[in-house]
Amino acid sequence: MTFPAFPAFPAPQYADLARRGQDAATTAVESWTRALQTFADAVTPRDAEPVDPKVATTAGFDLAQRLLGIQRALVTTAVTLVTEAAETAGEQASDAGRTLKAQTDEAAERVIDLATEATRRATTAAGNGVSA
């Protein structure tokens, strides 16, 4: 008697989630770098002229807005990926539970069949005058 195997580990799904997470992190770092470069360009004095305070203020708020937007996109992606990973793990656990239940049910049926056969043989032996 053979039992069905447990479901395979969904490595490709987790690998895809990891790749998407790495892509999101890479995109965020590149975006942060561009935002900081834009800010630095705006507040770096040129030709011995001081930086206009209004330009610096605007650049500072623009930087904050861009950084917050980048963080929001990264966190939103991270939450999506964690949710998908949890769903994949949940599906895998459910599949494993169903497989285990099927194996347990099959084993229980086999035990009942063996017990029934043993009882039948004992009854037949007792009817033939054979003692145990």
> For residue 42, is it within any domain?
yes
| Residue 66: C-alpha distances to residues 17, 32, 70, 89, 121 (Å) | 26, 8, 6, 35, 82
Give me the half-sphere count of Cα atoms (radius 13 Å) on the Cβ side of residue 41. 7
> For residue 131, is it within any domain?
no
Task: Write the pLDDT tens digit of every residue in 17-60.
Answer: 889 999 999 999 999 999 999 999 999 988 888 989 999 999 99
Number of domains in the chain: 1
pTM, 2 dp: 0.62
> For residue 132, is it within any domain?
no
DSSP state of 51: P
Task: Write the pLDDT tens digit of every residue in 48-72.
Answer: 889 899 999 999 999 999 999 999 9
Question: Where in the sequence is the domain holding 22, given as residue range(s)?
Answer: 11-125
Residue 49 has a pLDDT of: 87
Strand boundaries in 55-97, DSSP class E:
none
> For residue 1, is it within any domain?
no
Instruction: Check if the beta carbon of residue 20 is closer than 8 Å to that of residue 77.
Output: yes
Residue 22 has a pLDDT of: 94
Task: Write the pLDDT tens digit of every residue in 79-112.
Answer: 999 999 888 888 888 888 888 888 898 998 999 9
> For residue 3, is it within any domain?
no
Q: Which one is predicted more confidently, 122 or 10?
A: 122
> For residue 58, is it within any domain?
yes
> For residue 6, is it within any domain?
no
What band does 4 get if pLDDT is binned at 50, 70 and 90? low
Place of tokens 């966190």: 75
